[in-house]
Amino acid sequence: MDRNTIYQDDAVPSIFRQVANAFNARGAYMVAFWTLMIMLVIMIFSAVLAPYHPHHQHTDLLLLPPSWADKGTVEFFFGTDDLGRDILSRVISGTRYTLGGALLTVAISGLIGVAIGALAAMLRGLRSSILHHLLDTVLAIPSLLLAILVIAILGRGWSTVLLAVTIGLIPQFIRVSHQAVLEVLATEYVRMARLDGYSKFRLFYRVVLPNIAEPLIIRFTAAISSAIMDLAALGFLSLGAQAPAPEWGSMMASGISLLTTAPWVITLPGIAIFITVLSINLVGAGLQSSFKKLESS
């Protein structure tokens, strides 16, 4: 057998490994993680995976039920909508809008927010106070409302919605990173690191960053799920992606008049949103509990 059975611990695993091990130990989290991974793969290869073009209208096959219904066919697995478009193709293509859009907005707002928050925490006096209090005020407005505000100014449309959601997410990132950096800077180990002669940059990257990783990672996962909800909600209110685009929220909105006659038009994109948000939240919860385990060991 391998030597691990003879020597119990060959090497002390890194913090990253320890978190990954704790995460791996829980089945539910792993299911959520792989669901998310499959979603990402579908998103990247959506053009290849979708059986039909999402905008192609099969005019002779309007409102075809999903394949598991009596009248359904396997060719249109999730059925078709009132314009004869294949719903499976639209849900698959929709990952690019809803999930991809959420990832993009979170990445951009996260970068900006963490940079501003960390800077505000490292600065002292008036400059820090202005940044901090200004953004506290912004934080009082819910992100969806803030996004609607931006849309009211810039007009509707997909790129406006992306911008709006990005702006809506920034304050939370500033808040979290500001708090976390302040907390770390007040610790004894930062004081000792200063005496050890760390340069400002090294201090940030060796001491501060590893210690704020935990709240930031958890914030990022929460932000992705809330970005998906925001994008879908704005799409549902037809403020976001416009009509033919297969964004999940707007797909649901277009199906709302058919709720009684063709419920699959609205439920299937809804289930897609549900599964995505659920798996992201589970991954977030799993990371949180894995970090907790690290703390207590």
Partner 1 sequence: MQTPLLQVKHISKTYHNSKGWFRHETVEAIKSVSFDLKRAHTLAVIGEAGSGKSTLARILAGEMSPSSGDILLHGQNLNDTNQRQRCMDIRMIPQRPSLSLNPRLRVGMQILAPLVQHRSLTPSLRQQKLYATMRDVGLLEEHADYYPNMLSASQRLRVTLARAMIVDPEVLVFDQTLSAMDITMRAQLINLLTMLQQSRGMAYIMIGHQLSMIRHLADDVMVMQQGEVIEFRPTDEIFESPASEYTQRLIYAYNELVQGPSS
Does residue 133 bind partner 1 (CB under 8 A)?
Answer: no
Residues 115, 145, 192, 259: which binds partner 1 (CB under 8 A)?
192
Dist. CA 250–CA 238, nearest whole Å: 6
Residues 20, 63, 107, 198: which binds partner 1 (CB under 8 A)?
198
Residues 43, 64, 207, 229: which binds partner 1 (CB under 8 A)?
207
Does residue 125 bind partner 1 (CB under 8 A)?
Answer: no
Give the nearest distance from C-beta 261 to partner 1 in angstroms: 57
Does residue 15 bind partner 1 (CB under 8 A)?
Answer: yes
Window of 9-17, 36-44, 153-161, 222-230 that interacts with partner 1 by CB under 8 A: 9-17
3-state secondary structure the chain: CCHHHCCCCCCCCCHHHHHHHHHHCCHHHHHHHHHHHHHHHHHHCHHHHCCCCCCCCCCCCCCCCCCCCCCCCCCCCCCECCCCCEHHHHHHHHHHHHHHHHHHHHHHHHHHHHHHHHHHHHCCHHHHHHHHHHHHHHHCCCHHHHHHHHHHHHCCCHHHHHHHHHHHHHHHHHHHHHHHHHHHHCCHHHHHHHHCCCCHHHHHHHHHHHHHHHHHHHHHHHHHHHHHHHHHHHHHCCCCCCCCCCCHHHHHHHHHHHCCCCCHHHHHHHHHHHHHHHHHHHHHHHHHHHHHHHHHC
Does residue 199 bind partner 1 (CB under 8 A)?
Answer: yes
Window of 7-15, 75-83, 104-112, 227-235 that interacts with partner 1 by CB under 8 A: 7-15
Give the nearest distance from C-beta 229 to partner 1 in angstroms: 32
Q: Which residues pair with 86 in a beta bridge?
A: 80
Give the nearest distance from C-beta 286 to partner 1 in angstroms: 19
Residues 21, 129, 187, 257: which binds partner 1 (CB under 8 A)?
187
Give the nearest distance from C-beta 21 to partner 1 in angstroms: 14
Does residue 260 bind partner 1 (CB under 8 A)?
Answer: no
Window of 183-191, 215-223, 256-264, 278-286 that interacts with partner 1 by CB under 8 A: 183-191
Complex with partner 1: residue 179 or 211, whichever CB lies closer: 211
Window of 11-19, 29-37, 71-79, 174-182 that interacts with partner 1 by CB under 8 A: 11-19
Give the nearest distance from C-beta 280 to partner 1 in angstroms: 25
Q: Do residues 241 and 158 touch, judged by C-beta distance below 8 A? A: yes
Complex with partner 1: residue 12 or 153, whichever CB lies closer: 12
CA 167-159-147 angle, to 5 degrees, is 35
Chain contacts with partner 1 (rule: CB under 8 A): 11-12, 15, 187-189, 191-199, 202, 206-207, 210-211, 213, 294-295, 297
